[in-house]
A and B are shown apart, each in its own frame.
Chain A
Amino acid sequence: MQSIRKKILPDVFLTHYPATKFKNSLLSIQLVFPLDAAFASANALFPAVLRRGTARYTDMRSISSALDALYGASIAYTVRKKGENQCVGFVGSFIDDAFTLGGERLLEPVAKLMGEILLDPVVREGCFLSEYAAGEKENLADAIRSVINDKREYADMRLLQEMCKGERYAVDRLGDEESLSRLDARTLYAHYQKAIASARVEVFYCGSADISRVEDALEAALSGLPRGSVIAPAVAVRRAVRETPLHVTEAMDVTQGKLSMGFRCTSEDTAAMTLCNTMFGGSSNSKLFLNVREKLSLCYFASSIYHRAKNIVTLSSGIEFENYQLAFDEIMEQLGAMRRGEWEDWELDGARSTIMTAYKTMDDSISRTEEFHLGAVATDLPDTPDELMRKIAEVTPERIRAAAESIQLDSVYFLTGKEGADE
Protein backbone atom coordinates (compact mmCIF):
# COMPACT_ATOMS: atom_id res chain seq x y z
CA MET A 1 0.00 0.00 0.00
CA GLN A 2 1.28 3.43 -0.89
CA SER A 3 0.39 6.14 1.60
CA ILE A 4 0.24 9.88 1.01
CA ARG A 5 0.96 12.47 3.70
CA LYS A 6 -0.08 16.03 3.07
CA LYS A 7 -0.67 19.25 4.94
CA ILE A 8 -4.38 20.10 5.11
CA LEU A 9 -4.22 23.04 7.55
CA PRO A 10 -1.29 24.84 9.20
CA ASP A 11 0.67 22.13 11.08
CA VAL A 12 -2.12 19.63 10.46
CA PHE A 13 -1.06 16.62 8.42
CA LEU A 14 -3.27 14.01 6.86
CA THR A 15 -1.88 10.57 6.08
CA HIS A 16 -4.06 8.58 3.72
CA TYR A 17 -3.58 4.83 3.58
CA PRO A 18 -5.84 3.29 0.92
CA ALA A 19 -7.05 -0.27 1.62
CA THR A 20 -9.99 -2.36 0.50
CA LYS A 21 -9.12 -5.60 2.30
CA PHE A 22 -10.52 -4.68 5.69
CA LYS A 23 -14.05 -4.87 7.04
CA ASN A 24 -13.60 -1.54 8.74
CA SER A 25 -11.92 1.82 8.35
CA LEU A 26 -9.93 3.77 10.92
CA LEU A 27 -9.68 7.49 11.45
CA SER A 28 -7.28 8.87 14.03
CA ILE A 29 -6.83 12.51 15.09
CA GLN A 30 -3.78 12.97 17.32
CA LEU A 31 -2.28 16.03 19.03
CA VAL A 32 1.47 15.77 19.60
CA PHE A 33 3.07 17.50 22.61
CA PRO A 34 6.61 17.26 23.98
CA LEU A 35 6.33 15.25 27.21
CA ASP A 36 6.41 17.65 30.12
CA ALA A 37 5.85 16.77 33.78
CA ALA A 38 4.00 20.05 34.31
CA PHE A 39 1.37 19.45 31.62
CA ALA A 40 1.23 15.67 31.10
CA SER A 41 -1.78 15.19 33.40
CA ALA A 42 -3.67 18.08 31.86
CA ASN A 43 -3.03 16.68 28.37
CA ALA A 44 -4.20 13.25 29.48
CA LEU A 45 -7.28 14.69 31.15
CA PHE A 46 -8.87 16.99 28.60
CA PRO A 47 -9.62 14.31 25.94
CA ALA A 48 -11.45 12.31 28.62
CA VAL A 49 -13.55 15.35 29.49
CA LEU A 50 -14.18 16.07 25.80
CA ARG A 51 -15.42 12.49 25.35
CA ARG A 52 -18.13 13.12 28.00
CA GLY A 53 -20.27 15.40 25.87
CA THR A 54 -20.51 17.82 22.96
CA ALA A 55 -22.76 20.79 22.34
CA ARG A 56 -24.98 18.53 20.20
CA TYR A 57 -24.68 15.32 22.27
CA THR A 58 -24.41 16.55 25.82
CA ASP A 59 -23.74 13.23 27.56
CA MET A 60 -21.94 9.95 26.92
CA ARG A 61 -25.15 8.07 26.44
CA SER A 62 -26.24 10.22 23.53
CA ILE A 63 -22.78 9.92 21.95
CA SER A 64 -23.02 6.14 22.36
CA SER A 65 -26.47 6.06 20.77
CA ALA A 66 -25.18 8.06 17.82
CA LEU A 67 -22.31 5.56 17.46
CA ASP A 68 -24.66 2.57 17.72
CA ALA A 69 -26.69 4.04 14.87
CA LEU A 70 -23.46 4.21 12.85
CA TYR A 71 -23.24 0.39 12.99
CA GLY A 72 -21.46 0.23 16.29
CA ALA A 73 -18.70 2.66 15.36
CA SER A 74 -16.35 3.47 18.21
CA ILE A 75 -14.52 6.65 19.11
CA ALA A 76 -11.98 6.09 21.85
CA TYR A 77 -9.77 8.70 23.45
CA THR A 78 -6.12 7.70 23.51
CA VAL A 79 -3.09 8.88 25.48
CA ARG A 80 0.20 7.46 24.20
CA LYS A 81 3.91 8.05 24.68
CA LYS A 82 6.00 8.10 21.50
CA GLY A 83 9.66 8.81 22.18
CA GLU A 84 9.70 11.94 24.34
CA ASN A 85 6.31 13.07 23.08
CA GLN A 86 2.82 12.63 24.44
CA CYS A 87 0.18 11.95 21.80
CA VAL A 88 -3.44 12.46 22.79
CA GLY A 89 -6.59 12.38 20.74
CA PHE A 90 -9.26 10.12 19.34
CA VAL A 91 -9.31 6.96 17.28
CA GLY A 92 -12.49 6.17 15.37
CA SER A 93 -13.24 2.73 13.99
CA PHE A 94 -16.26 2.00 11.79
CA ILE A 95 -17.32 -0.62 9.26
CA ASP A 96 -16.55 -0.09 5.61
CA ASP A 97 -19.37 1.44 3.56
CA ALA A 98 -19.56 -1.77 1.51
CA PHE A 99 -21.24 -3.52 4.44
CA THR A 100 -23.88 -1.00 5.46
CA LEU A 101 -27.45 -2.08 4.78
CA GLY A 102 -28.50 0.77 2.56
CA GLY A 103 -25.04 1.74 1.28
CA GLU A 104 -24.80 4.61 3.79
CA ARG A 105 -21.46 6.38 4.09
CA LEU A 106 -19.91 6.33 7.52
CA LEU A 107 -16.65 8.28 7.09
CA GLU A 108 -18.37 11.68 6.91
CA PRO A 109 -20.61 11.33 10.00
CA VAL A 110 -17.81 9.74 12.06
CA ALA A 111 -15.33 12.49 11.08
CA LYS A 112 -17.94 15.11 11.90
CA LEU A 113 -18.61 13.58 15.31
CA MET A 114 -14.86 13.34 16.06
CA GLY A 115 -14.46 16.99 15.10
CA GLU A 116 -17.31 17.95 17.41
CA ILE A 117 -15.84 15.98 20.29
CA LEU A 118 -12.46 17.67 19.82
CA LEU A 119 -13.64 21.22 19.15
CA ASP A 120 -17.18 21.71 20.34
CA PRO A 121 -17.53 20.43 23.90
CA VAL A 122 -20.59 21.08 26.01
CA VAL A 123 -19.76 24.18 28.06
CA ARG A 124 -21.35 26.18 30.85
CA GLU A 125 -20.34 29.77 31.63
CA GLY A 126 -17.43 29.53 29.23
CA CYS A 127 -15.80 26.42 30.61
CA PHE A 128 -16.12 22.61 30.89
CA LEU A 129 -18.99 21.30 32.98
CA SER A 130 -17.57 21.07 36.48
CA GLU A 131 -19.15 17.65 37.08
CA TYR A 132 -17.46 16.23 33.97
CA ALA A 133 -14.10 17.75 34.82
CA ALA A 134 -14.27 16.57 38.43
CA GLY A 135 -15.43 13.09 37.46
CA GLU A 136 -12.71 12.55 34.88
CA LYS A 137 -10.11 14.03 37.20
CA GLU A 138 -11.01 11.37 39.74
CA ASN A 139 -10.97 8.66 37.04
CA LEU A 140 -7.53 9.75 35.89
CA ALA A 141 -6.23 9.77 39.46
CA ASP A 142 -7.58 6.21 39.83
CA ALA A 143 -5.90 5.21 36.55
CA ILE A 144 -2.55 6.68 37.65
CA ARG A 145 -2.77 4.84 40.97
CA SER A 146 -3.89 1.60 39.32
CA VAL A 147 -0.54 1.05 37.60
CA ILE A 148 0.32 -0.77 40.79
CA ASN A 149 -2.27 -3.46 39.98
CA ASP A 150 -0.10 -4.78 37.17
CA LYS A 151 3.21 -5.49 38.87
CA ARG A 152 5.18 -5.93 35.66
CA GLU A 153 3.99 -2.60 34.27
CA TYR A 154 4.61 -1.00 37.64
CA ALA A 155 8.19 -2.28 37.84
CA ASP A 156 8.89 -1.09 34.28
CA MET A 157 7.48 2.34 35.07
CA ARG A 158 9.51 2.62 38.27
CA LEU A 159 12.66 1.63 36.38
CA LEU A 160 12.18 4.47 33.86
CA GLN A 161 11.40 6.94 36.66
CA GLU A 162 14.64 6.10 38.42
CA MET A 163 16.83 5.64 35.36
CA CYS A 164 15.69 8.75 33.49
CA LYS A 165 15.08 11.08 36.46
CA GLY A 166 15.04 14.67 35.19
CA GLU A 167 14.49 13.64 31.55
CA ARG A 168 11.24 13.86 29.62
CA TYR A 169 11.38 10.09 29.23
CA ALA A 170 10.73 9.57 32.94
CA VAL A 171 7.32 11.22 32.68
CA ASP A 172 4.49 8.71 32.55
CA ARG A 173 1.99 9.06 29.70
CA LEU A 174 -0.77 9.85 32.24
CA GLY A 175 1.33 12.34 34.20
CA ASP A 176 1.28 12.37 37.99
CA GLU A 177 -1.27 12.87 40.74
CA GLU A 178 0.30 16.00 42.12
CA SER A 179 0.02 18.13 38.98
CA LEU A 180 -3.40 16.58 38.35
CA SER A 181 -4.61 17.70 41.77
CA ARG A 182 -4.09 21.36 40.85
CA LEU A 183 -6.52 21.23 37.90
CA ASP A 184 -10.17 22.26 37.91
CA ALA A 185 -12.79 22.82 35.19
CA ARG A 186 -11.62 26.39 34.58
CA THR A 187 -7.85 25.86 34.49
CA LEU A 188 -8.31 22.70 32.42
CA TYR A 189 -10.48 24.53 29.90
CA ALA A 190 -7.86 27.26 29.54
CA HIS A 191 -5.19 24.60 29.07
CA TYR A 192 -7.30 22.81 26.46
CA GLN A 193 -7.78 25.98 24.42
CA LYS A 194 -4.07 26.68 24.43
CA ALA A 195 -3.23 23.05 23.70
CA ILE A 196 -5.41 22.64 20.61
CA ALA A 197 -4.00 25.86 19.15
CA SER A 198 -0.37 24.95 19.76
CA ALA A 199 -0.23 21.21 19.00
CA ARG A 200 1.03 19.59 15.85
CA VAL A 201 -1.94 17.53 14.62
CA GLU A 202 -1.54 14.19 12.85
CA VAL A 203 -4.61 12.76 11.13
CA PHE A 204 -4.47 9.19 9.87
CA TYR A 205 -7.02 7.41 7.72
CA CYS A 206 -6.98 3.83 6.50
CA GLY A 207 -9.88 2.47 4.46
CA SER A 208 -11.52 2.36 1.07
CA ALA A 209 -12.43 6.06 0.66
CA ASP A 210 -10.23 8.02 -1.74
CA ILE A 211 -8.09 10.89 -0.54
CA SER A 212 -10.30 13.71 -1.79
CA ARG A 213 -13.26 12.35 0.17
CA VAL A 214 -11.12 12.07 3.31
CA GLU A 215 -9.73 15.58 2.84
CA ASP A 216 -13.19 17.05 2.40
CA ALA A 217 -14.49 15.26 5.48
CA LEU A 218 -11.53 16.36 7.60
CA GLU A 219 -11.46 19.94 6.39
CA ALA A 220 -15.10 20.23 7.35
CA ALA A 221 -14.61 18.48 10.69
CA LEU A 222 -11.55 20.53 11.68
CA SER A 223 -12.59 23.89 10.23
CA GLY A 224 -12.97 25.29 13.74
CA LEU A 225 -9.49 24.23 14.85
CA PRO A 226 -7.63 27.26 16.22
CA ARG A 227 -4.04 27.60 15.00
CA GLY A 228 -1.48 29.64 16.91
CA SER A 229 2.23 29.22 17.20
CA VAL A 230 2.82 25.48 17.09
CA ILE A 231 5.32 23.66 19.32
CA ALA A 232 7.47 21.17 17.42
CA PRO A 233 7.58 17.58 18.70
CA ALA A 234 10.55 16.82 20.95
CA VAL A 235 13.57 14.88 19.74
CA ALA A 236 14.60 12.39 22.42
CA VAL A 237 17.77 13.35 24.28
CA ARG A 238 20.56 10.78 24.72
CA ARG A 239 22.30 10.64 28.07
CA ALA A 240 25.56 8.96 28.95
CA VAL A 241 25.41 5.85 31.08
CA ARG A 242 25.92 6.17 34.86
CA GLU A 243 29.41 5.37 36.11
CA THR A 244 28.08 2.90 38.65
CA PRO A 245 24.73 1.26 37.94
CA LEU A 246 21.86 2.38 40.16
CA HIS A 247 20.14 -0.40 42.16
CA VAL A 248 16.68 0.18 43.62
CA THR A 249 14.73 -2.46 45.56
CA GLU A 250 11.20 -2.04 46.86
CA ALA A 251 9.00 -4.47 48.79
CA MET A 252 5.32 -5.26 48.37
CA ASP A 253 3.03 -8.09 49.39
CA VAL A 254 3.42 -10.15 46.20
CA THR A 255 4.20 -13.80 45.43
CA GLN A 256 6.52 -13.18 42.48
CA GLY A 257 9.47 -10.79 42.23
CA LYS A 258 9.78 -8.46 39.23
CA LEU A 259 13.21 -7.60 37.92
CA SER A 260 13.54 -4.65 35.52
CA MET A 261 16.84 -3.53 34.05
CA GLY A 262 17.70 -0.50 31.93
CA PHE A 263 20.65 -0.07 29.56
CA ARG A 264 21.95 2.99 27.71
CA CYS A 265 23.31 2.48 24.20
CA THR A 266 25.76 4.60 22.26
CA SER A 267 25.51 2.91 18.87
CA GLU A 268 23.43 4.96 16.43
CA ASP A 269 23.19 1.95 14.10
CA THR A 270 19.47 1.43 14.76
CA ALA A 271 19.10 -1.48 12.34
CA ALA A 272 21.91 -3.39 14.09
CA MET A 273 20.49 -2.43 17.49
CA THR A 274 17.07 -3.76 16.47
CA LEU A 275 18.53 -7.10 15.43
CA CYS A 276 20.78 -7.26 18.45
CA ASN A 277 17.85 -6.71 20.81
CA THR A 278 15.69 -9.33 19.06
CA MET A 279 18.49 -11.88 19.45
CA PHE A 280 19.17 -10.87 23.05
CA GLY A 281 15.63 -10.74 24.45
CA GLY A 282 13.12 -9.70 21.83
CA SER A 283 11.57 -13.03 20.78
CA SER A 284 10.78 -16.55 21.95
CA ASN A 285 14.09 -17.66 20.43
CA SER A 286 16.18 -15.03 22.13
CA LYS A 287 19.07 -15.74 24.43
CA LEU A 288 17.03 -14.62 27.42
CA PHE A 289 14.13 -16.93 26.55
CA LEU A 290 16.32 -19.92 25.78
CA ASN A 291 18.60 -19.55 28.79
CA VAL A 292 16.88 -17.71 31.63
CA ARG A 293 13.59 -19.49 30.96
CA GLU A 294 14.20 -22.71 29.06
CA LYS A 295 17.63 -23.75 30.37
CA LEU A 296 17.46 -22.55 33.98
CA SER A 297 13.64 -22.55 34.47
CA LEU A 298 13.99 -19.28 36.40
CA CYS A 299 10.97 -17.52 34.96
CA TYR A 300 7.94 -17.59 32.70
CA PHE A 301 8.85 -14.34 30.98
CA ALA A 302 12.18 -12.57 30.41
CA SER A 303 12.17 -10.17 27.51
CA SER A 304 13.75 -6.96 26.35
CA ILE A 305 12.59 -3.94 24.37
CA TYR A 306 14.69 -1.60 22.25
CA HIS A 307 13.37 1.96 22.57
CA ARG A 308 14.48 3.15 19.15
CA ALA A 309 13.79 6.85 19.59
CA LYS A 310 15.56 7.04 22.96
CA ASN A 311 18.30 4.52 22.22
CA ILE A 312 17.88 2.54 25.41
CA VAL A 313 17.11 -1.14 26.08
CA THR A 314 14.90 -2.23 28.98
CA LEU A 315 14.13 -5.74 30.09
CA SER A 316 11.77 -7.33 32.56
CA SER A 317 11.34 -10.73 34.14
CA GLY A 318 9.20 -12.36 36.84
CA ILE A 319 11.19 -14.57 39.23
CA GLU A 320 11.25 -16.11 42.71
CA PHE A 321 12.65 -13.54 45.18
CA GLU A 322 15.64 -15.70 46.10
CA ASN A 323 16.65 -16.15 42.45
CA TYR A 324 17.49 -12.48 41.99
CA GLN A 325 21.27 -12.87 41.76
CA LEU A 326 21.04 -16.02 39.65
CA ALA A 327 18.77 -14.30 37.12
CA PHE A 328 20.77 -11.06 37.13
CA ASP A 329 24.03 -12.93 36.50
CA GLU A 330 22.54 -15.05 33.73
CA ILE A 331 21.09 -11.96 31.98
CA MET A 332 24.48 -10.22 32.10
CA GLU A 333 26.15 -13.42 30.90
CA GLN A 334 23.84 -13.52 27.87
CA LEU A 335 24.58 -9.87 27.11
CA GLY A 336 28.25 -10.82 27.33
CA ALA A 337 27.68 -13.57 24.77
CA MET A 338 26.14 -11.00 22.41
CA ARG A 339 29.14 -8.72 22.91
CA ARG A 340 31.54 -11.56 22.17
CA GLY A 341 29.62 -12.45 19.04
CA GLU A 342 28.71 -15.87 20.41
CA TRP A 343 25.67 -17.01 18.51
CA GLU A 344 24.80 -19.61 15.95
CA ASP A 345 23.75 -18.74 12.42
CA TRP A 346 20.14 -19.74 13.04
CA GLU A 347 19.84 -17.23 15.90
CA LEU A 348 20.71 -14.37 13.57
CA ASP A 349 18.69 -15.75 10.64
CA GLY A 350 15.68 -16.37 12.87
CA ALA A 351 15.83 -12.89 14.41
CA ARG A 352 16.21 -11.30 11.01
CA SER A 353 13.24 -13.13 9.55
CA THR A 354 11.11 -12.44 12.66
CA ILE A 355 11.68 -8.70 12.16
CA MET A 356 11.08 -8.95 8.42
CA THR A 357 7.80 -10.80 8.96
CA ALA A 358 6.69 -8.15 11.44
CA TYR A 359 7.38 -5.34 8.96
CA LYS A 360 5.95 -7.24 5.98
CA THR A 361 2.67 -8.00 7.73
CA MET A 362 2.36 -4.48 9.13
CA ASP A 363 -0.21 -3.34 6.60
CA ASP A 364 -2.33 -6.43 7.15
CA SER A 365 -3.39 -4.75 10.40
CA ILE A 366 -4.98 -1.31 10.52
CA SER A 367 -4.24 -0.68 14.17
CA ARG A 368 -0.57 -1.70 13.91
CA THR A 369 -0.17 0.55 10.88
CA GLU A 370 -1.67 3.49 12.75
CA GLU A 371 0.51 2.87 15.79
CA PHE A 372 3.66 2.59 13.65
CA HIS A 373 2.79 5.67 11.63
CA LEU A 374 2.18 7.79 14.72
CA GLY A 375 5.51 6.67 16.19
CA ALA A 376 7.30 7.56 12.98
CA VAL A 377 5.86 11.07 12.64
CA ALA A 378 6.02 11.93 16.34
CA THR A 379 9.62 10.84 16.82
CA ASP A 380 10.87 12.00 13.44
CA LEU A 381 11.99 8.52 12.41
CA PRO A 382 10.39 8.63 9.00
CA ASP A 383 11.56 5.24 7.63
CA THR A 384 8.77 3.18 6.12
CA PRO A 385 8.56 -0.57 6.83
CA ASP A 386 10.06 -1.16 3.36
CA GLU A 387 13.06 1.05 4.13
CA LEU A 388 13.50 -0.59 7.52
CA MET A 389 13.44 -4.02 5.89
CA ARG A 390 16.13 -2.98 3.44
CA LYS A 391 18.32 -1.75 6.31
CA ILE A 392 17.76 -4.89 8.37
CA ALA A 393 18.70 -7.06 5.39
CA GLU A 394 22.10 -5.38 5.18
CA VAL A 395 23.18 -5.74 8.82
CA THR A 396 26.33 -7.84 9.29
CA PRO A 397 27.38 -9.86 12.37
CA GLU A 398 30.17 -7.33 13.01
CA ARG A 399 27.65 -4.50 13.23
CA ILE A 400 25.54 -6.50 15.70
CA ARG A 401 28.59 -7.11 17.88
CA ALA A 402 29.43 -3.42 17.80
CA ALA A 403 25.82 -2.59 18.75
CA ALA A 404 25.95 -5.11 21.64
CA GLU A 405 29.19 -3.61 22.90
CA SER A 406 27.51 -0.23 23.15
CA ILE A 407 24.77 -1.56 25.48
CA GLN A 408 25.72 -0.58 29.05
CA LEU A 409 23.84 -1.34 32.25
CA ASP A 410 22.50 1.87 33.80
CA SER A 411 19.82 0.99 36.36
CA VAL A 412 18.19 -2.00 38.05
CA TYR A 413 14.80 -2.06 39.77
CA PHE A 414 13.66 -5.05 41.81
CA LEU A 415 10.19 -5.50 43.27
CA THR A 416 10.44 -8.06 46.04
CA GLY A 417 8.13 -9.56 48.69
CA LYS A 418 7.61 -8.29 52.19
CA GLU A 419 9.54 -10.09 54.88
CA GLY A 420 7.34 -12.21 57.05
CA ALA A 421 4.39 -11.85 54.66
CA ASP A 422 2.25 -14.89 53.87
CA GLU A 423 3.39 -17.37 51.25
Chain B
Amino acid sequence: MECPVALTSTDVARLADLARIDLTVKELEQFAGELGVVLDAVAQVSAAARPDIVPTSHALNLTNVFRDDVVRPSMPLADVFAMAPAVEQDGDSTWFRVPRILGEAA
Protein backbone atom coordinates (compact mmCIF):
# COMPACT_ATOMS: atom_id res chain seq x y z
CA MET B 1 0.00 0.00 0.00
CA GLU B 2 1.22 3.48 -0.89
CA CYS B 3 1.85 5.76 2.10
CA PRO B 4 1.74 9.53 2.00
CA VAL B 5 5.03 10.64 3.56
CA ALA B 6 4.81 14.43 3.57
CA LEU B 7 3.32 15.82 6.78
CA THR B 8 2.38 19.49 6.99
CA SER B 9 2.23 21.49 10.20
CA THR B 10 -1.56 21.50 9.74
CA ASP B 11 -1.50 17.67 9.81
CA VAL B 12 0.60 17.74 12.98
CA ALA B 13 -1.79 20.25 14.56
CA ARG B 14 -4.72 17.91 13.85
CA LEU B 15 -2.83 14.95 15.35
CA ALA B 16 -1.82 17.01 18.40
CA ASP B 17 -5.47 17.90 18.87
CA LEU B 18 -6.46 14.21 18.73
CA ALA B 19 -3.72 13.44 21.27
CA ARG B 20 -4.73 16.40 23.50
CA ILE B 21 -1.34 18.10 23.48
CA ASP B 22 -0.78 21.84 23.08
CA LEU B 23 2.12 22.39 20.67
CA THR B 24 3.82 25.68 19.89
CA VAL B 25 4.03 26.90 16.28
CA LYS B 26 7.74 26.12 16.38
CA GLU B 27 7.04 22.53 17.53
CA LEU B 28 4.40 22.06 14.81
CA GLU B 29 6.87 23.00 12.08
CA GLN B 30 9.76 21.07 13.59
CA PHE B 31 7.73 17.86 14.08
CA ALA B 32 6.26 18.05 10.55
CA GLY B 33 9.77 17.93 9.07
CA GLU B 34 11.13 15.31 11.47
CA LEU B 35 8.17 12.96 11.26
CA GLY B 36 8.33 13.13 7.46
CA VAL B 37 11.89 11.77 7.71
CA VAL B 38 10.73 8.89 9.93
CA LEU B 39 7.78 8.04 7.70
CA ASP B 40 10.09 8.08 4.70
CA ALA B 41 12.42 5.64 6.44
CA VAL B 42 9.61 3.25 7.36
CA ALA B 43 8.13 3.17 3.86
CA GLN B 44 10.00 -0.10 3.20
CA VAL B 45 7.96 -1.69 6.01
CA SER B 46 4.72 -1.23 4.06
CA ALA B 47 6.42 -2.56 0.94
CA ALA B 48 7.40 -5.81 2.71
CA ALA B 49 3.96 -6.41 4.23
CA ARG B 50 2.49 -8.88 1.76
CA PRO B 51 -1.25 -9.63 2.15
CA ASP B 52 -0.61 -13.31 3.05
CA ILE B 53 1.44 -12.52 6.18
CA VAL B 54 -0.37 -12.89 9.50
CA PRO B 55 0.27 -9.81 11.68
CA THR B 56 1.80 -10.26 15.16
CA SER B 57 0.55 -7.96 17.90
CA HIS B 58 2.45 -9.69 20.66
CA ALA B 59 5.56 -11.85 20.85
CA LEU B 60 3.95 -14.43 23.15
CA ASN B 61 0.97 -16.42 22.01
CA LEU B 62 -1.16 -15.34 24.91
CA THR B 63 -4.89 -15.72 25.17
CA ASN B 64 -6.97 -14.08 27.86
CA VAL B 65 -5.62 -14.44 31.36
CA PHE B 66 -8.22 -15.01 34.07
CA ARG B 67 -8.09 -14.91 37.84
CA ASP B 68 -10.62 -15.55 40.55
CA ASP B 69 -12.77 -12.57 41.36
CA VAL B 70 -11.90 -12.14 45.03
CA VAL B 71 -11.92 -9.07 47.24
CA ARG B 72 -8.42 -7.81 47.99
CA PRO B 73 -7.25 -4.79 49.93
CA SER B 74 -6.98 -1.70 47.75
CA MET B 75 -4.32 0.99 47.92
CA PRO B 76 -4.76 3.29 50.93
CA LEU B 77 -6.97 6.14 49.66
CA ALA B 78 -4.98 8.76 51.56
CA ASP B 79 -1.83 7.75 49.64
CA VAL B 80 -3.67 7.98 46.34
CA PHE B 81 -5.22 11.39 47.03
CA ALA B 82 -1.92 12.71 48.39
CA MET B 83 -0.59 12.83 44.82
CA ALA B 84 -3.72 14.26 43.17
CA PRO B 85 -3.45 17.68 41.49
CA ALA B 86 -6.65 18.79 43.27
CA VAL B 87 -9.08 17.14 45.71
CA GLU B 88 -12.29 18.09 47.44
CA GLN B 89 -13.17 16.87 50.91
CA ASP B 90 -16.46 16.58 52.73
CA GLY B 91 -16.31 14.92 56.08
CA ASP B 92 -14.89 11.43 55.61
CA SER B 93 -15.19 11.53 51.82
CA THR B 94 -12.58 12.73 49.37
CA TRP B 95 -12.88 13.23 45.60
CA PHE B 96 -10.56 14.08 42.74
CA ARG B 97 -11.46 17.62 41.70
CA VAL B 98 -11.41 18.05 37.91
CA PRO B 99 -12.02 21.07 35.66
CA ARG B 100 -15.50 21.43 34.16
CA ILE B 101 -16.33 18.62 31.77
CA LEU B 102 -19.32 20.16 29.97
CA GLY B 103 -19.22 22.61 27.07
CA GLU B 104 -20.95 25.50 28.85
CA ALA B 105 -19.12 27.85 31.19
CA ALA B 106 -19.21 26.76 34.83
Instruction: Decide whether A and B are members of one complex.
Output: no
Chain B residues within 8 Å of A, Cβ to Cβ: none
Binding site for B on A (CB under 8 A): none
